[in-house]
Amino acid sequence: MSAATCGTANVITYNHYQRNRLTDPLNPIRQLIQQAQEQDSATGKLLEFVECRKKRLHAAIKLPEQQAAKGLADFVVRYIKHVPDFIDAIRSMAHEAGIDKDVEPLLKIASDYFMSPPSIVDPHSQLEALLDEAYLAHRLLEEVNDRFMAKSGIPLAPMDMTVANVIAHELIGEPFANELDQAVLFSAELLLNEHGFEGANISNYVNAHRERGWTEELEKWPCLVEDLSISVEFDTENSTRH
């Protein structure tokens, strides 16, 4: 994916700390994540899950030599918590650009994956379930971003979640991760058929970013993969994404 990469690590939360938590529309999702973390701190289910999964990961996924399971568990938590931060960042960017109405249906579906998850998501431990839901949200944003870029020549948002989504896909495991991908493609088709990201405001948005790039946005864009201890290194014989 050729979208611009994410910004610096010291702005991971973008407007997260600037907003009033009591009026933040994403507060229910953040509370859900916090509750899942609290539950897991008592049960240790996430560490058990990644300990089991790490032996089955694709060889292209390189784990840290020390505390590999902890690195994976930390990745899962960051991946989940990144969804509301991403939604927040895209919503703020869309508001500044005057394309709120165009982008909001996309963000609503991403939020609904958490608040009203599809029946395909199994009710296992909370953080495992939230990993599935986060994967749906991140993949939807990635899919729409890719299609917008194919159509207009620029991404809808300056993000590249390819590496993180590959890792999440492997952690979830096949065939279930493929089923989640199919659900995302279905949602993306419905979304783009009803809301095609067209009109004067979108055209102005595209033209503006073709001229000036993404410097301003990247300075405050939430970054997931920077300083990540896990990497994906495909060789020429093993370059197919699952």
pLDDT tens by residue, the chain, 242 residues? 334 344 333 333 444 444 444 467 899 999 999 999 999 999 999 999 999 998 888 888 888 888 889 999 999 999 999 999 999 989 988 998 899 999 999 999 999 999 988 888 866 678 999 999 999 999 999 999 999 999 999 999 888 888 899 999 999 999 999 999 999 999 999 999 998 898 999 999 999 999 988 888 777 777 655 556 777 886 644 444 44
The per-residue b/e assignment along 64-79, b for 16 or more CB within 10 angstroms, e otherwise, is eeeebbebbbbbbbbb
DSSP 55: G
The SS3 assignment for 240 reads coil
The SS3 assignment for 60 reads coil
Q: Is residue 14 part of a domain?
A: no
Q: What is the pTM of this model?
A: 0.85
Rounded to 5°, angle at Cα 114 from 111 and 119? 120
Q: Is residue 18 part of a domain?
A: no
Q: Is residue 2 part of a domain?
A: no
Q: Is residue 241 part of a domain?
A: no
**Parallel, antiparallel or unpaired: strands 61-62 and 231-232:** antiparallel
The count of structural domains within the chain is: 1
The SS3 assignment for 116 reads coil
Q: Is residue 84 part of a domain?
A: yes
Q: Is residue 21 part of a domain?
A: no
The residue count for the chain: 242
Cα gap 47→66, rounded to integer Å: 15
Structural domain for 94, as ranges: 47-232
